[in-house]
Structure 1
């Protein structure tokens, strides 16, 4: 019981602030907009999923990562725990939905990877390793460049999937 209390208190200290709201936009595989309703007003918050990185527009895997996150969260109520903002003013947060941390789910499913340049999360590193070992993990992890060069996710050595990672989703329907 003591350990449970310790875990709850330490996680509250790790993430100082919390917002709760409805996801009204999915920008890409690691950024959402959450509409928070307070008694006085409605506030839209741009939230970057902390500790992960996903392909940007124009890069291999972008459509699939965005679709996956949109399928999980669009119109749903989420809780975001955070302590800071990035240089663009976005909240860097851990997104909780249906008792799952979506940051972890995106890495686990292979649509994002651990952003080691800005995160030393053991959990994210472990999930990425497991996703790479898992033959059913999706292809975005295979396309990750060496290092964490955020601007160069496209990999010419990636397998030809006939239109990118998004086409995999079409075959699953």
Structure 2
């Protein structure tokens, strides 16, 4: 008996149609699926969204932007990331590489939780919707909205300044 291989075209058509129906997206709006997942030992944390692997690679968290170290709430974001990752082995799903040579990825912790989600729930990060284009980002937006409503972390500040605005103001 010979098994028939199913074509992926109907599945891609279905996904493409669903994206268009739900939000006017097409599959081309999303980056290609991950470049692979690997276990990585975290040896340093630069700030809330930037880590260093024991092999020297720098890792930038995909889809979120934490306050900078010298920015209000930056120390909080850094402390959360250190507490959850420093000296631990995490799963890194590589999504891209940025212009600074950092691996951009999604970091899963040893308990199965996702670092980006933990930061959003704690009010320690913004969803970086300019770059967050994967379907998971929809759920991440919900986590940020919930933290905002509950006034958790940076959302307890009267006027929290997004890091991209803070960086732009500092460069002038």
Q: Give the TM-score normalised by structure 1.
A: 0.69
Task: Please give the per-residue CA displacement for 1:127-154, whole angstroms capped at 9, x wherever unaligned.
Answer: 110111124x212574543795361589
Q: Which residue of 2 aligns with 1:51?
A: 63
Q: Which residue of 2 aligns with 1:100?
A: 113
Q: Which residue of 2 aligns with 1:27?
A: 46
Task: Please give the per-residue CA displacement for 1:111-170, whole angstroms capped at 9, x wherever unaligned.
Answer: 1110112113212211110111124x212574543795361589xxxxxxxxxxxxxxxx
How far is 1:100 from its partner? 0.5
- Structure number with the higher helix fraction is 2
Q: Which residue of 1 aligns with 2:78?
A: 66
How far is 1:80 from its partner? 0.3
Cα distance, 1:140–1:69 mapped onto 2, change above 3 Å: farther
SS of 2:76 mapped into structure 1: helix
Q: Specify the structure having the higher radius of gyration (Cα).
A: 2
CA RMSD of aligned residues (A): 2.6
Distance 2:92 2:169 in 1: 27
Distance 1:30 1:147 in 2: 11
| 2:27 is aligned with 1:15 | no
SS of 2:165 mapped into structure 1: coil
| 2:143 is aligned with 1:130 | no
Number of residue pairs the alignment of both structures matches: 136
- Whether the aligned pair in 1 keeps the contact of 2:68 and 2:163 (CA below 8 Å) is no
Unaligned 5+ runs, structure 1:
1-5, 7-12, 36-42, 155-173
Q: Give the TM-score normalised by structure 2.
A: 0.70
- Structure number with the higher strand fraction is 1
Q: Which residue of 1 aligns with 2:123?
A: 110
SS of 1:139 mapped into structure 2: helix
- Whether the aligned pair in 1 keeps the contact of 2:148 and 2:155 (CA below 8 Å) is no
